[in-house]
Structure 1
């Protein structure tokens, strides 16, 4: 198995999803196995590989403690920032959020973006709805459940398609969308959500009708 294949192995993704959600926390092997829902033997074997690769670092228990060794994210790892971004944009946040929105809100979510992640591990999201507006209570409940599963706090902005199209460069959301860390996870056409029906003004309607009447008959 190559290094690239190893990094994207399911066991690695499950462990790193937990570890990157709390990069300053120390985890025992048993706790990581429980949180990632992996077999303890598989978790131990994968952890050893992650430690030897430099992605995780191991801490020995103190002399007055009987606890087993613990591991945590090694921020000094050469590709720490890149791997963290990969995790955010794939298995750690983007994929679970995309799956949740496309499953539960496919009739209302027109577009969706991961805007970024702060130092506390809160992932900021932007959802653009179409003709139908997502039920607020259902969206809140779904986000809370997903947050618990991926061990990350979610901050969700839900706006209309018209509001999205009217964003100006001065709008905080526009600047976040323009950032390099922003990622579109649901594009137009990815769901069954329909764009809102554009309202034609009376003046535009009158111009169209006049243009039709003024055309020469065949």
Structure 2
């Protein structure tokens, strides 16, 4: 179903965000460790070389250690840069997903863009519901254990966003005669676009019976509030 595709895509998107946030710190730590190890090895080699000059003919001079491959400066610089980039990624990820301690700015009935929903931004600025990219409309909100109007949470009929503090439930806000690419969210596209996979044949603020969809249409109907779509191939 259309809504299930949206919900599944959001989970995959969040997993990708978390993975990306950890990649730079791990890579930076590895590079920094390699650089420091090479720097120490180079210093040890220099000290031994100085001792051989001061004490020629010593036992250490018989089998001189091999010169380390560089001072590790490049690895240290790359490691520091990667750690700084990683810190920025981690901080931005945590800021975007931490529970909000302030009142929710989004009111029931207001809309958000497909981009805001895909990124899981629960404090997104409200968008005019007449905008083509404002494809999600808030219909209910509650605490972290709240359910949507159909009594479900993840996997239900209503697309939702949730964190440790609150839950937001949405219905799709699609425009009649427009086409959309449905993946993580319903993104408006031209009907000739190869990514378009849904066209809204009709939209009714009522039941599926009121929509009177044709035989070739998929019916998407919400019970609370009542809204029905007849969806066809572009």
TM-score scaled by length of structure 2? 0.22
Relative contact order (alpha carbons < 8 A, sep ≥ 6): 1 or 2 greater?
Answer: 1
TM-score scaled by length of structure 1? 0.23
Larger radius of gyration: 2
